């Protein structure tokens, strides 16, 4: 069982990665998206290097950069974001804000299939922040585990280039 969010995209900018990192930074998340990521060819777990985040948003202080992320399935016009249960706080925050900021960058919508709700524009960000707040309010201590970032080579992730 997991938690899904869907972004229906209208466009897919060629310079998405730096713009997405900048949009997440605007929410207080200093991240680096996995090198080689492409919204046209990625499949599977998308890792992020999370350098810093406000403790009020993450529910904890970061001791050092961590690796976090979510499963991503890319379809013609839809991008599905999934975290598995039990979900870590950092993964959930990245999933919700990742989906909301991607919706904004692509002129699309942020959809929560669990609630049957769809949001666009600033409402998508508000919905993401409400999801995060609800998650943090009921999260067990095990949700606040931090996995130190070991470097991209050590993660041995498949990149869009191979």
- Would you say residue 161 lies in a domain? no
Q: Would you say residue 109 lies in a domain?
A: yes
Say which DSSP state 159 is in: P
Buried/exposed 15-53: b ≥16 CB within 10 Å, e otherwise: ebbebbbebbeebebebebbeebebeebeeebbbbbebb
Condensed to tens digits (0 to 9), the pLDDT of residues 64-115 reads 999 999 999 999 899 999 999 889 999 999 999 999 999 999 999 999 999 8
Residue 162 belongs to a domain: no
Q: Which domain holds residue 62?
A: 2-155
Pairing outcome for strands 78-84 and 109-112: unpaired
Total domains in the chain come to: 1
pLDDT of residue 157: 63
1 has pLDDT over 80: no
pLDDT 10s digits, 49-59:
999 999 999 99
Kindly state whether residue 101 falls inside one of the protein's structural domains.
yes
Q: Is residue 30 part of a domain?
A: yes
Residue 138 lies in a domain: yes
pLDDT digits (tens, 9 = 90+) for 10-53: 998 889 999 999 999 999 999 999 998 998 888 899 999 999 99
């Amino acid at each position: 069982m997991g938690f899904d969010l869907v972004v229906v995209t209208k466009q897919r900018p060629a310079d998405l990665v730096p713009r997405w990192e900048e949009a997440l930074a605007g929410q207080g998340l200093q991240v680096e998206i996995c090198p080689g990521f492409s919204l046209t060819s990625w499949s599977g777990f998308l890792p992020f290097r999370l350098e810093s985040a406000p403790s009020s948003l993450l529910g904890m202080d970061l001791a050092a950069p961590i690796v976090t992320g979510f499963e991503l399935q890319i379809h013609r016009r839809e991008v599905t974001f999934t975290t598995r249960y039990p979900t870590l706080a950092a993964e959930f925050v990245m999933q919700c804000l990742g989906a909301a900021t991607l919706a904004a960058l692509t002129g699309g919508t942020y959809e929560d299939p669990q609630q049957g709700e769809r949001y666009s524009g600033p409402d998508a960000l508000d919905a993401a922040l409400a999801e995060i707040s609800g998650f943090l309010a009921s999260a067990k201590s095990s949700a606040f585990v931090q996995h130190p970032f070991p470097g991209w080579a050590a993660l041995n992730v498949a990149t869009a280039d191979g």
